[in-house]
Structure 1
Amino acid sequence: MKSRILFPSNARFLGLFLFLAGIAFFIYSQNSSKEIFVWHSFSTGNSFWGASRDESFDDEIQLLMVLSGLILLAFSKETVEDEHIVQLRSDSLQWAVYVNYAVFAVLIFASYGITFLMFTMYNVLTLLVFFIIRFRWKMFLLNRGLTTEVKGAIQS
């Protein structure tokens, strides 16, 4: 069975870098009042958004870095991509969707107003996070099982 469209296996390192850089940028911006990416509006009248003002794009860039990093982490090929790994990937994705929407269903009733919008924004990321955790855990168990089988075969 041919695997779906996946990124090359070395894209995982770029994904890890983007994810960690986005998290670091988020932590920095939460602890600092300085905005890094600011769009200066030079119009004198009303703009499309209302009054003319400076817009900070720090949140958008942080979310884009984290999201693109998670996508690269989640959908990069393994060094050996066989049918068993494709099946693990598919099962992990299905499991992640179930868990993600179960958590989201609980949060619908547990949050209101602006916190609901924040949970909705983070819910975009949690599907990928649940998938990565589940897939990496299953890969760890698979590799651990294979190494113990190889050790047992060598010893006998």
Structure 2
Amino acid sequence: MKLFRSTAILVLASFGFSACAEQTAAGGPEMTVYRSPTCGCCGKWLEHARQSGFKINDVISDDMDAIKARYGVPEKLASCHTAIVDGYVVEGHVPAGDIQKMLQAKPQVAGLAAPGMPMGSPGMEMGGRHDTYQVVSFDKAGKAEVFAEHGDNR
């Protein structure tokens, strides 16, 4: 009886894990987003990511500096929210298309950042204003390179 129960538990657990894996695949890549409870633009960026197929785990934090330090976000690249997806860090209002390109290419970087809070970036829409801005990739040493450019002239 004990063997039957153990086997039944293993079989049921494997169905549960399979269902979770299928649900994640169907819902797109999982992304954990850390954000301040008072930032409205972060919520708009979360919606942009959801609409682009990411499955979001929304984590509210009162200590974003500690989150950024934990994940190695260089201070000069900091923005308002920090996300983790497939082992990469995504800092700030990075367009979902750039994140998807990174996930497909799998570059040897720590992540992507849209430093500051560029107007016209996802979640920072302000009427017709669209500032030109760069999304940069960065490594664990903090070295940054341009990954993509966005704005009126792009």
* TM tier relative to shorter chain: under 0.3
Q: Kindly indicate which of the two structures has a greater share of residues assigned to helix.
A: 1
> TM-score of the superposition, structure 2-length normalised?
0.26
Larger radius of gyration: 1
